[in-house]
Structures are given as structure tokens and as C-alpha cells.
Structure 1
Amino acid sequence: MKFLHIADLHIGKRVNEFNMIEDQKYILEQLISVIESEKPKGIIIAGDVYDKSQPSGEAVELFDDFLTKLVSLAEFVFIISGNHDSPERLSFGSRILKKSGLYIAGVFDGKMNKITLKDEYGPLHVYLLPFVKPAVVRAYYDEEIESYNDAVNVIISNEKISMDERNILVAHQFVTSGGVSPERSDSENISLGGLDNVDASLFRNFDYVALGHIHRPQKIGRDEIRYAGSPLKYSFSEARHHKSVTVLEIKEKGNVKIDLIPLLPLRDLREIKGPINELIKIGKEDYKGSTDYIHATITDEDEIYDALGKLRQVYPNIMILDFDNKRSRSNISFEELSSEKIESKSPLDLFEEFYEAQNNKKLSEEEIKIIERLLEKAGGIEI
């Protein structure tokens, strides 16, 4: 039985104030092409369908169109809510939609949803576990639940999972393996303190675990516990990531085959660095690449008038502009001066240090005299 595993669509997301809806429409159409080629029995969407709990109208419309196509191409579609989704909104109409083979687990109601499929190898159970927090799970169990690991452990322990039959779990949590964390990026919402992690050892009864939440495709512990990753790059920390869709085929118990099919975006997220004239030259020679979303770092030492405007003429979708030169690399700043050091320096000394740090040159004698007069007029400050 073949499945397609995707996650973290984040439909409606804005990156550095750029609306990504056109890019998302393009990548969803590419996913449809993969489905048409692979012909899976089921489609798994492991949470964070939307980027916000109250998605925009265009985001809902795009997902509605995508979902309609999925139901027409696959016999079963399995969806869970992620930490960005509104469980109640995502669950709307879910009981009616089961008749079309669409199973949505948005709101956690005390247990995992279990759907049993059958093929020539016997029954295959798909368990749906939406994103849960310890406080939500405590409402259904008398057991002590302090952490996310406790919460997921209690849920799984209270299920009668047959080790002789094939089992798939769909979940949206921050999963670690023996204290080793997955590789993360800036676009993920990860809690601090380490209390939100769920250890992969809890999933030993499952032949495959389809995870959402982390945006880089990767395995956690064993090959069969996998993050599908987001289909698009949503931060420049993902610039070197290779996005893909996960295809898994489960035959008899213990026989799981996993393939990754690359996804190519309409516009990539790229980082470029160098003198401004060199960056402009490269952009003019690479028309397609120049339309990518760009984080540019200029290394010129001289000040450049309207650097962003000049770059935007070649790179219309530039998102971030930084500078890397002697001035930007200077370690001198008032924030780094201790109170003792500040008290030991005169206002003129402090201004001279600040000016040199910002402009990579010292004040001239004439400029010093001007600052002295200004400081005196400001209140007779000693210089």
C-alpha cells in the first residue's frame, strides 16, 4: 500500500512581508502532479495546513481547491491539525467528509482516531494524533502528565496496538531521539526549555511515523520516523535545504520502502554576498535566478546611496539587505561598554569611539572642535 506524506503547508504565510500564496499555489500543483504519477492509496498531511488559526479567504480557497483534487486522486486522505491550525475550524464537516474517504483529526477528544485499511497483506491501521499539549490531555486521564512526552506516552499507552499488524501514526510534535534533536530552522515555532520534546522511543509499535512540525525533511532515530518537511522554504535559514515529498510503500509487516521526490519552487530563497556592482552584474546575467527571494549582503567599504533601490532594479523580490564591512563588523558599541568604562570616559571620548565605529575613520580636528562647542552649549558638560 502506497502513501504520500506531506506536512507544514502553512497556506497563507507571509515571509518578510511577502505574500507567498502564488508560490504555494505553484508547489501544490506540483504535488498534484506527483500524486498523479505515483498513484498512492492515501495522502497524509501531518499538520500546519494553514499558517494562522484564522486563515485568510484566499488561503481557505486555495486549500479547498487542493483538497478537492486530492479526494479525486486518492482513495483516502488523512489530515491532522498542527500548532498553527485552529483544531475546530479544521475539523468543520469532518464527520460528513468521511464518506468521501477524507479523515480529519483536528480536535483531540481523548484518544487517537483509528482508521483500518486492508490489502493483500491484511489490515493496516492509521492512527491520527493532532498536536496536543499536556494541559489538553490531562482533561481525559487521571495519570500524572507534566510534559509533552508524558502526554503522548499516556495517549499511546491507552491504545490497544497490535504488534502483529501494520500501524502508521500521523503526529505533529517536536520529536527527539535519545536527546538528539532534529535540525531546525528559524521559521518553526519551538518552545524553550526542552519540555516540549517527545522521545521517538514512544513510537516503537508503529511501522511508520509521519511527522509534521520541523521544516527540513529528515529521519528521527530510525528511517521509519520521518519529518516530511515543508514543501517551500519559509526562512533564509532554510536556504540550503532541499525540499521534497515523501513516498512510502508498506507491504508485509516490517517491509517499508521510503523514497523522496524533489520539489522545485516557483522562486527559490537564496543568499547572495559581494560588492554591489558584482551582484548587479550576476543578476543581469541570470534573469530567472534574479526573480528569486533574495537576502543580499553588500561588502563594499564605501557608503552606497540607495543600495536597496539599485539592487531591486535587478532583484525585484529582494527581502533583506545587510552590510558586511569594517563598520558593520566593529565590536565597539555603547551597549558593550560596562558602566565603569563609561564613567571613566568623557562624553567627547565616547562620541569619538562611536563615530569611528560607525564610519571606520576618526573625527577630524575641525569636527572635534565642533563637537566640543555643542557639548558645552548642551549644558557645560566637561570634555
Structure 2
Amino acid sequence: MRLFHVSDLHLGIRLMNYDLTEEQNYILNQIVQYIKQYQPDVLIIAGDVFDRSTPSANALRQYNQWLSDIYEAKEDIQMMVIAGNHDNSSYMDQYKNLLSKEKFYTAGTLPIQKIKCEDKYGDILFYLMPFVRPSHVKQYLNIDMDQSLSYDKAIHLLLEKETIDLNQRNVLVSHQFYLPEEASLQDIERSDSEIQTVGNIDVIYSSALKPFDYAALGHIHKPMTVKQNIFRYAGSPMAYSISEQNQNKQILMVDLLEKGNTKITSLPLHMKHPVRTIQGYYQNIIQQSSQDYVRIELLDQQDLNAVDLQEQIRFHYPHVLEILFKNRKWVDMDMEIDNEKIMEPMELILEFLSDYDEEDEKILKDILNEERGLL
């Protein structure tokens, strides 16, 4: 059986207030062309279909048109879509029973939805697990809401509740932050466009993935593996922040053969107007022009007319994201320019406080995460 694995479409997202509809349509069309070429049996979308829980009318039209194009490319394709942390879980489940009759499977809320498919090698069981927080798991498993429960423990409890036949092929679709037990958080590159928890409390250790022959993961925007090659983040299909400018975007083509034999192929995706950084002297930079989404890093040491500088750069680069002076901390102009590191809320609070202990820090983390809706 051949699967296509994508995630983190974030339809409706804006990049520094620029509308990305045209760029996203360009990417979505590449996926349709790959479907025409390779004819997958299943398309998996591992969460964050939309960027907002209340998607705009334009984002909904974009999604509906894309689905129509997919079915024109392959009429009998099966769809498996889970809710991510950006999606509206109730909306995702709205027509679940009706859609499943057409082999369009969605999972917005618990329980984990199990889908049984079959090919010449036998049965394949898909486990569709939407993004969950510990509070969701407590409610579903009737655990005292006052009891402490980590993300890691919550996901392990959910999966342990399932009866997984290890003699069959099993595929997990999940939208969480998985990490190998021996890995360091500092080794994982998180993108600026991702929602991150204070203290990375949402970490789930990869031992939870052990029963599966493939894990189609979403949530991390950089394509990566989790300990084993068969546990994969497809990554976002295009760059949604400057921090993603050097990432090779992709969709994953997964051929599930007999038990223990899985072939994975990366199919590249390219933006029409990529996100990139241009570095140089002002006079050289304005001799060129581009529709790309660019960060400008100026090497000039002398003072420049701030208003004229912005007007000229925006004329030549209408999608400019930032203008920075590489060798100066700041410049006096209407656009705020600062090369200093942007601090996380928790860092700002701890820097402001002069006297705190570990218990105080834990309480502050819980408060911030609760405000973000991550507990």
C-alpha cells in the first residue's frame, strides 16, 4: 500500500501580514501533480490543516478546491485527516460518519479512530489520534482532573489502552512533539511559526511509537525522523517563518510492503517565491529586485535616510519581511530594527524577578501554559 504523508498545511496563515494564498495554492498543486504521477492509495494529513480554529471563508474555499483537485487526480484515494493544535476539533468531526462512508476519515476528538485497510500483504490498521492535551486524556479516561499528568504519560496511557496486534502492520497518525529518550531538547530545531510550551512540557518520548510500523507525525515544521527512520515528521510543505528558510520542504511517499519492510521516498516541494535572506550594501541591494519573501541584512556602517531606505527597499522587494543592520544594534527609523535576541515570555519574567526558586518557576510555567491553552 502506498501512502502520501503531509502535515501542517496551515491554510489561511499570513507571513508578516502577507497573504500566502497564492503561494499555498502553488504548493497544493504540486501535491496534486505528485498524486497524479504516483497514484497513492491513502493521503494522510497529520494535523494543522488550518492556521486558525475558525478558518476564514477563503481558507475553507481553498481546502475544498484542493480536495476536489485531489479526487480528480485519483478518484478512489482514501483520505485520513487528524486535527492539530491549530484546528477546530469539533469542526473536524462535524461530518465524520457521513464522510467515512466515502473513505474520507477524520479524527478531531478522542477516542483514537481505527481504520482497517487491506492489500496483497494482508491487513493494515491505521490509528488516527488527534492532538490531545493531558486534560483531554483525563476526561476521556476518567482520571481525577486535579491529578498531575504529563503529556508523555497521557499519550502512553492512551496507546496502552489500544489492543495492537504486533503481527499485523500498524500505522499511527499523530500531531504531538515526540523526542527520543536519549536526545537533548537543544538538538531539536523548532521553528518560529510553531506554538511551543514553556519548559517544553509537551515532550512525549519515542517509546510510545514502538508498536508501529510507521508513524505519520505532524507538529514540527522541519522534516525529521524520531529515532527510527519509520517514525517521521513530514514537516510543513512551505516555509512559514525566516527560521525555516533553509529547510528542504517535502511530502513523504511511504510504500508499506510486507511486515518489517517499509520504503520511504521524499518528494520535494518548492515555493514560487521562497523565503530567504539577502545580505549586502544598500546601493548594491537596490540594484536588484525580487518577489521573494526576504529579510534584508545591510552591511552599511554610515547613517542612511531611514524613510528613503524603506521606500526604496519596499519598491524593489515588495515582500520584505525585515530590514536589519548587520553591524549595528539599531537605527533610528520608524520601522523598529533590533538584532538582539527576542526573549520568550518565561525568560522575560525570570529576568525581571530577582528572587525565585524552582517551585516558583514551576508555578509560573503552569500559569503561562494554561493561558496558552496547553494544559
Report the TM-score range of the alignment, normalised by the length of the smaller protein.
0.7 to 0.9
Q: CA deviation at 1:140?
A: 2.1
Q: 1:230 aligns with which of 223, 233, 236?
A: 236
Q: Secondary structure at the match of 2:294?
A: strand
The one-letter amino acid paired with 1:76 is: Q
Which residue of structure 1 lines up, in the alignment, with residue 134 of structure 2?
A: 134
Structure 2 CA distance for aligned equivalents of residues 114 and 69 of structure 1? 27
Give 1:87-102 correspondences, 5 Å limit.
87-102=89-104
**Segment drifting more, 261-270 vs 91-100:** 91-100
Q: Secondary structure at the match of 2:201?
A: coil
- Cα deviation per residue 1:291-337 (whole Å; 9 max; x = unaligned)? 10011011212222221211122212112111123464999xxxxxx
- Cα deviation per residue 1:122-159 (whole Å; 9 max; x = unaligned)? 00001100000000111122556611111111110010
Q: Secondary structure at the match of 1:34?
A: helix
Structure 2 CA distance for aligned equivalents of residues 9 and 294 of structure 1? 21
- Cα deviation per residue 1:87-142 (whole Å; 9 max; x = unaligned)? 0112221210112110000122xx31000001110000011000000001111225
Structure 1 CA distance for aligned equivalents of residues 44 and 199 of structure 2? 30
Q: 1:83 aligns with which of 85, 92, 102?
A: 85
Q: Secondary structure at the match of 2:240?
A: coil
The one-letter amino acid paired with 2:275 is: L
Structure 2 CA distance for aligned equivalents of residues 39 and 304 of structure 1? 56
Which residue of structure 2 lines up, in the alignment, with residue 54 of structure 1?
A: 54
**Segment drifting more, 98-107 vs 272-281:** 272-281
Q: Secondary structure at the match of 2:65?
A: helix
Q: 1:274 aligns with which of 267, 274, 280?
A: 280
- Cα deviation per residue 1:28-78 (whole Å; 9 max; x = unaligned)? 011100111110000000000000001100000000111223344252100
Structure 2 CA distance for aligned equivalents of residues 211 and 102 of structure 1? 19
Structure 1 CA distance for aligned equivalents of residues 233 and 94 of structure 2? 26
C-alpha contact (below 8 Å) 1:82/1:130 kept by paired residues: yes
CA gap of 1:254–1:274, structure 2 versus 1, over 3 A, is: same
CA gap of 1:312–1:120, structure 2 versus 1, over 3 A, is: same
C-alpha contact (below 8 Å) 1:145/1:151 kept by paired residues: no
CA RMSD of aligned residues (A): 1.8
The one-letter amino acid paired with 2:2 is: K
Q: 1:158 aligns with which of 145, 157, 161?
A: 161
Give 1:208-247 correspondences, 5 Å limit.
208-247=214-253
Q: Secondary structure at the match of 2:26?
A: helix
Q: 1:190 aligns with which of 189, 196, 221?
A: 196
The one-letter amino acid paired with 1:205 is: P
The one-letter amino acid paired with 2:283 is: N
Q: Secondary structure at the match of 1:100?
A: coil
Q: If the length of structure 2 is used for normalisation, what is the TM-score?
A: 0.83
Q: Which runs of 5+ in 1 are unaligned?
A: 285-289, 332-383
Q: CA deviation at 1:266?
A: 1.2
Does residue 1:13 correspond to 2:13, yes or no? yes
**Segment drifting more, 322-331 vs 64-73:** 322-331
Which residue of structure 2 lines up, in the alignment, with residue 119 of structure 1?
A: 119
Q: 1:325 aligns with which of 317, 324, 327?
A: 327
Q: Secondary structure at the match of 1:139?
A: helix
CA gap of 1:164–1:328, structure 2 versus 1, over 3 A, is: same
Structure 1 CA distance for aligned equivalents of residues 136 and 102 of structure 2? 29
CA gap of 1:122–1:301, structure 2 versus 1, over 3 A, is: same
Structure 1 CA distance for aligned equivalents of residues 159 and 57 of structure 2? 36
Q: Secondary structure at the match of 1:233?
A: coil
Structure 2 CA distance for aligned equivalents of residues 295 and 67 of structure 1? 33
Structure 2 CA distance for aligned equivalents of residues 68 and 94 of structure 1? 18
Structure 1 CA distance for aligned equivalents of residues 214 and 228 of structure 2? 10
- Cα deviation per residue 1:245-295 (whole Å; 9 max; x = unaligned)? 1010001000000010110111100111111112123x25xxxxx110011
Structure 2 CA distance for aligned equivalents of residues 327 and 116 of structure 1? 58
C-alpha contact (below 8 Å) 1:70/1:77 kept by paired residues: no
Structure 2 CA distance for aligned equivalents of residues 317 and 133 of structure 1? 37
CA gap of 1:131–1:309, structure 2 versus 1, over 3 A, is: same
Q: Which runs of 5+ in 2 are unaligned?
A: 332-337, 340-375
Kindly name which structure, 1 or 2, has the bigger radius of gyration based on alpha carbons. Answer: 1
Give 1:343-358 correspondences, 5 Å limit.
none
Which residue of structure 2 lines up, in the alignment, with residue 37 of structure 1?
A: 37
- Cα deviation per residue 1:181-234 (whole Å; 9 max; x = unaligned)? 432111110101232111111111000000000001110110011100001100
Q: If the length of structure 1 is used for normalisation, what is the TM-score?
A: 0.81
The one-letter amino acid paired with 1:157 is: E
C-alpha contact (below 8 Å) 1:5/1:246 kept by paired residues: yes
Structure 1 CA distance for aligned equivalents of residues 175 and 239 of structure 2? 19
Q: Secondary structure at the match of 2:85?
A: coil
The one-letter amino acid paired with 1:163 is: L
Q: Secondary structure at the match of 1:170?
A: strand
Structure 1 CA distance for aligned equivalents of residues 4 and 292 of structure 2? 28
The one-letter amino acid paired with 2:269 is: L
Does residue 1:249 correspond to 2:243, yes or no? no
| Alignment length (residue pairs) | 324
CA gap of 1:326–1:83, structure 2 versus 1, over 3 A, is: closer
**Segment drifting more, 27-36 vs 85-94:** 85-94
